[in-house]
Amino acid sequence: MQGTRHYAVVTGAASGIGREVALQLADVGWRLAVSDINTAGLEATAREVEARGAELVDATVVDVSDPDAVDAWAYRLAEAYGAAHTVHHVGGISIWGRVDTMPLEKWRSLIEINLMGTVHMVRAFVPAMMQAGPVPKAQRRKVGPRRLVCVSSSAGIIGLPWHAAYSASKGGVLAMCEVLRFDLAPYGIKVHAVAPGAVDTGLVHTIDIDGVDQANPRVRKARELFQGHAIPPARCAEIILKGVRKNKYLITTGGDIALARWAQVNAPSLYRGAMGGINRAFRWVAKDAML
Ligand SMILES: NC(=O)c1ccc[n+]([C@@H]2O[C@H](COP(=O)([O-])OP(=O)(O)OC[C@H]3O[C@@H](n4cnc5c(N)ncnc54)[C@H](O)[C@@H]3O)[C@@H](O)[C@H]2O)c1
């Protein structure tokens, strides 16, 4: 943030939610270190951050599934600027598919990027944040405590159709955050787990639904319905940053996810009925589109 040495890290900054988080942080004067695997998109975000008058301390192409690359990036930042104040780990991928047909390499890439990517980010950035200790009280009023913000998904909580591999990767992120929120509290680090519902980003447009013909009219229609229900990435970033400011641990982006989570625990038959209906509708959509 301007006037302090603090900086925020944002992964997945080339596109969608990560790009919007970076730009909204830039708008309120955060110094930023951004990364993504997509060079052109990252450069565009970096230019926009600077155009908004924020200080860009770093923009590096990093594949979060590569532990050495993540370590090297974190080390370079810590050497130059000290421990990060906030890490927003947003970058990730989505692949859906049936468990009986989805190839093992797609399971692996979800786990390597979404789950191990988060592990790599935590291992690379959090130790320096722990060592640096809590933000001094006088500065805390301006910038808040140190924070780790990890983007999981509503699919990490509820049983969406054909999401087994994606949900395994995102559920792991949620479970890790649940532990870290207590483990890191004595070091003055707040942990936030983000579980967005549908957000209209590149990920939704390019999603790989393994074994399904995406050109099928029924599938196209269902995708349009999904996009109609999805919130814009800028709105999602606003919800995330507001939740973070309010020190909310689990940040969801819509009442439907909060309700589904409540029903899962408190009204299991209602939850089972609703999710069964969604799963049946999905199977009906895909019926004539199986490859
Ligand atoms: N869009 C949704 O409906 C939705 C819903 C729930 C959760 N999410 C999660 O939100 C996060 C952001 O997704 P988005 O919707 O903005 O999609 P997006 O595709 O617009 O952005 C994801 C970004 O992550 C980057 N990325 C992918 N693999 C990477 C890797 N190996 N290393 C570094 N960067 C990598 C991409 O290049 C891209 O810029 C993801 O973790 C996604 O799982 C999205």
* % of the chain exceeding 70 in pLDDT: 99
How far is Cα 151 from Cα 285, in angstroms, rounded to an integer? 28
Q: What is the pLDDT of residue 228?
A: 82
Q: What is the pLDDT of residue 3?
A: 54
Q: Is 227 part of a structural domain of the chain?
A: no
How far is Cα 160 from Cα 10, in angstroms, rounded to an integer? 28
Q: What is the pLDDT of residue 4?
A: 62
Q: What is the pLDDT of residue 282?
A: 86
Ligand 1 midpoint to CA 269 (Å): 33
pLDDT at 247 over 90: yes
Report residue 144's pLDDT band, with 50, 70 and 90 as the boundaries.
very high
H or E element that contains 267: none
Cβ density class 131-152: b for 16+ within 10 Å, e for less: ebeebeeebeeebbbbbbbbbb
Domain limits for position 237: 7-204+232-255
pLDDT at 2 over 80: no
CA distances from 247 to 10, 36, 67 (A): 18, 26, 29
Range scoring the smallest mean pLDDT among 33-42, 133-142, 148-157, 244-253 = 133-142
Q: Is 188 part of a structural domain of the chain?
A: yes
For the chain, what is the domain count?
Answer: 1
Q: Is 139 part of a structural domain of the chain?
A: yes
Per-residue pLDDT of 93-110, as tens digits, reads 999 999 999 999 999 999
**Residue positions counted in the chain:** 291
Choosing from 64, 160, 201, 257 the residue with most ligand 1 atoms within 8 A of its CB, the one to mutate for a pocket test is: 201
CA angle 12, 156, 288 (to 5 degrees): 95
Looking at ligand 1, which residue's alpha carbon is closest to its atom 42?
A: 92
Per-position DSSP letters for 9-74, written without gaps between them: EESSTTSHHHHHHHHHHHHTT-EEEEEES-HHHHHHHHHHHHHTT--EEEEEE--TT-HHHHHHHH
How far is Cα 192 from Cα 51, in angstroms, rounded to an integer? 29
Q: Is 288 part of a structural domain of the chain?
A: no
Our answer on whether the CB atom of 116 is closer than 6 Å to any ligand 1 atom is no
For residues 258 and 251, the model is more confident at 251
For residues 282 and 119, the model is more confident at 119
Our answer on whether the CB atom of 161 is closer than 6 Å to any ligand 1 atom is no
Q: Is 215 part of a structural domain of the chain?
A: no
Report residue 272's pLDDT band, with 50, 70 and 90 as the boundaries.
very high
Q: Is 1 part of a structural domain of the chain?
A: no
Per-position DSSP letters for 163-179, written without gaps between them: -HHHHHHHHHHHHHHHH
* % of the chain exceeding 90 in pLDDT: 82
pLDDT at 71 over 80: yes
Q: Which listed residue (7, 75, 81, 166) is catalytic?
A: 166
How far is Cα 19 from Cα 49, in angstroms, rounded to an integer? 9
Report residue 1's pLDDT band, with 50, 70 and 90 as the boundaries.
low
Report residue 229's pLDDT band, with 50, 70 and 90 as the boundaries.
confident
Q: Is 281 part of a structural domain of the chain?
A: no
Our answer on whether the CB atom of 253 is closer than 6 Å to any ligand 1 atom is no
Q: Is 173 part of a structural domain of the chain?
A: yes
Taking the CA atoms of 95, 96, 99 and 103 in sequence, report the sign of the dihedral they define: negative
Q: What is the pLDDT of residue 213?
A: 86
Per-position DSSP letters for 180-240, written without gaps between them: HHHHSGGGTEEEEEEE---B-SHHHHS-EETTB-TTSHHHHHHHHHHHHHSBPHHHHHHHH
What is the overall mean pLDDT for the chain? Answer: 94
CATH number at residue 191: 3.40.50.720
